[in-house]
């Protein structure tokens, strides 16, 4: 009786996210026009689809700069400003973003009367002293380039609701905390109205921004915010609460469990090859227990994801040739995973009954399938959560 139930649960858990990959509708807080080719879009959360960027005005806020001075919508009024988002512990995109901002804007526009505002997405770590140290790297005028921090809730409210840009904390590949954030530079006019969004990594887009600041050209349509319609907001899916931190950590936990199962399976195979039956038994039973724990963690994650976000899966963002590769791995993983509990329990059953011929016959099929499912579970996690798009 337990075998069909376990298999059904596993198959349901694995097929559900596959079916949801392209069927779930984007989440958005307001009705916006359908995006066209030159419509700027933004991804506001890790489980949300791209939506048209409809930011209009920054609104009120109160933070501090690298000298501890107040930075508000009022203190910035009177001059246009450009904002970007980084964190001081970043070693990948942020240094490049800062270098581009320095050379393509700060140095390029020495005679222009504007400000650059760099806001940390890691305010718990990036205090005033660290932001001051960061500004000292570039030896910039603190009145012309502000490095801004403040209370975490206020910073994230400004980024997400004011600029409508991405910023969230996530688990890194090493199990530590990392930050996903917008790589854009947002142009705000002297009255606090948001007028443009540009990719902070692309020289051509920053040159366009520089010419807009100089007054040589108008903001191109593809960089301008999309106007919100007057229709009422679409109710958000889920319960409207942020995803708890322990739930966000479950994907990396599941990947670690799959990694552990892979190591145990390889160890169990090596043990039986040298006729160490006792060690083989311990390793294989531990691998089975690990896979059962993984199943419970996997089901919990997708149930809680559905509860909090209204979407039971994370959609794969990769494009081009990698997309069919990902779905091939995912589909084979799903269907073979449904066979593992049956094969594993049958193999264990005949081992306890000491019916070694049947045990070996089933194990020859079950073992490579089980190993493939464990390895591809880790591969899917890496492709889904850590592959650049």
Angle 199-316-124 from CA coordinates, rounded to 5°: 60
Q: How many angstroms separate the Cα of 293 from the Cα of each of 97, 244, 254, 261? A: 42, 20, 9, 10
Secondary element (H or E) of residue 42: strand 41-42
Residue 35 has pLDDT above 90, yes or no: no
How far apart (Å, rounded) are the C-alpha atoms in residues 90 and 97?
11
Helix and strand numbers (H, E) in the chain are 11, 11
Number of C-beta neighbours around residue 389 at 10 A = 9
Residue 86, pLDDT > 70, answer: yes
- Residues of 204-231 as b/e, b for ≥16 C-beta within 10 angstroms? ebbebbbebbeeeeebbeebbbbebeee
Tell me the pLDDT band of 15, cut-offs 50, 70 and 90.
very low
The more confident residue out of 27 and 312 is 312
Listed by start position, the domains of the chain span 2-23+241-386, 41-223
> What is the model's pTM?
0.50
Tell me the backbone φ, ψ of residue 273, rounded to 5 degrees. Answer: -65, -30
Question: pLDDT band at residue 91, thresholds of 50, 70 and 90?
Answer: confident
Average pLDDT over residues 282-311: 91
pLDDT for position 59: 79
Average pLDDT of the chain is 81
For residue 198, what is the DSSP state? E
pLDDT band at 335 (very low <50, low <70, confident <90, very high): very high
CA atoms within 13 Å, Cβ hemisphere of 221: 5
CATH number assigned to the domain with residue range 2-23+241-386, chosen from the 4 options 3.30.70, 1.20.120, 2.60.120, 3.10.20: 1.20.120
Select the more confidently predicted residue: 93 or 20: 93
**Dihedral sign, CA of 254, 256, 257, 263?**
positive
The pLDDT-based confidence of 238 (bands split at 50, 70, 90) is low
Most distant CA pair in the chain, distance = 85
Q: Does 3.30.420.40 match the CATH number of domain 41-223?
A: no
Give residue 9's pLDDT: 43
* 168 DSSP β-pair partners: 180
Residues contacting residue 369 through CB under 8 Å, at least 6 positions apart: 336, 339, 340, 343
Which residues face 181 on adjacent strands?
A: 167
Q: Which DSSP letter does residue 162 get?
A: I
For residue 288, how far is the Cα from the chain centroid?
A: 30
**What DSSP string runs through 99-115?**
HHIIIIIIITTTTS--E
Residue 52, Ramachandran bin (φ over 0: left; ψ between -120 and 50: alpha; else beta):
beta
Average pLDDT over residues 102-119: 93
Distances, alpha carbon 112 to alpha carbons 59, 81, 198, 271, in Å: 24, 11, 18, 71
Phi then psi for residue 83, to 5 deg, are: -120, 140
Q: pLDDT digits over 187-221, tens only?
A: 999 988 888 999 999 999 999 999 999 999 999 98
294/337 Cα distance (integer angstroms): 12
Tell me how far apart the alpha carbons of residues 298 and 374 are, in angstroms, rounded to a whole number: 13
């Amino acid at each position: 009786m337990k075998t069909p139930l376990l298999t059904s649960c596993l198959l349901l858990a694995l097929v559900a996210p596959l079916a949801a990959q392209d069927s779930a509708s984007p989440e958005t807080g307001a009705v916006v026009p359908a995006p066209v080719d030159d419509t700027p879009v933004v991804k506001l959360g890790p489980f949300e689809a791209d939506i048209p960027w409809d930011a209009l005005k920054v609104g009120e806020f109160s933070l501090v700069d690298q000298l501890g001075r107040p930075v508000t919508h009022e203190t910035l009024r009177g001059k246009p400003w450009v904002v970007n988002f980084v964190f001081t512990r970043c070693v990948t995109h942020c240094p490049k973003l800062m270098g581009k901002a320095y050379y393509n804007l700060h140095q390029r526009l020495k005679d222009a009367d504007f400000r650059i505002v760099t806001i940390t997405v890691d305010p718990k770590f990036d205090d005033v002293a660290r932001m001051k140290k960061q500004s000292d790297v570039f030896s910039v005028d603190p009145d012309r380039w502000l490095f801004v921090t403040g209370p975490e809730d206020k910073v994230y409210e400004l980024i997400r609701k004011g600029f409508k840009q991405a910023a969230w904390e996530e688990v890194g590949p090493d199990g530590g905390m990392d930050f996903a954030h917008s790589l854009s530079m947002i142009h705000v006019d002297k009255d606090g109205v948001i007028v443009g969004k540009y990719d902070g990594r692309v020289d051509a887009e920053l040159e366009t921004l520089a010419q807009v600041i100089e007054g040589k050209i108008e903001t191109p349509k593809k960089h301008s915010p999309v106007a919100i319609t007057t229709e009422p907001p679409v109710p958000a899916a889920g319960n409207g609460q942020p995803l708890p931190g322990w739930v966000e950590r479950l994907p990396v936990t599941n990947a670690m469990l799959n990694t552990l199962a892979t190591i145990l399976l390889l160890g169990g195979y090596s043990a039986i090859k040298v006729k160490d039956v006792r060690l083989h038994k311990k390793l294989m039973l531990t691998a089975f227990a690990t896979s059962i724990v993984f199943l419970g963690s996997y089901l919990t994650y997708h149930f809680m994801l559905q509860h909090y976000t209204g979407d039971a899966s994370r959609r794969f963002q990769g494009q081009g040739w990698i997309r069919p590769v990902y779905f091939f791995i995912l589909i084979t993983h799903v269907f073979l995973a449904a066979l593992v509990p049956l094969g594993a329990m049958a193999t264990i059953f005949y081992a306890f009954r000491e019916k070694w011929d049947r045990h070996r016959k089933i194990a020859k099929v079950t073992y490579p399938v089980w190993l493939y499912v464990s390895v591809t579970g880790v591969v899917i996690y890496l492709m889904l959560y850590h592959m650049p798009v």
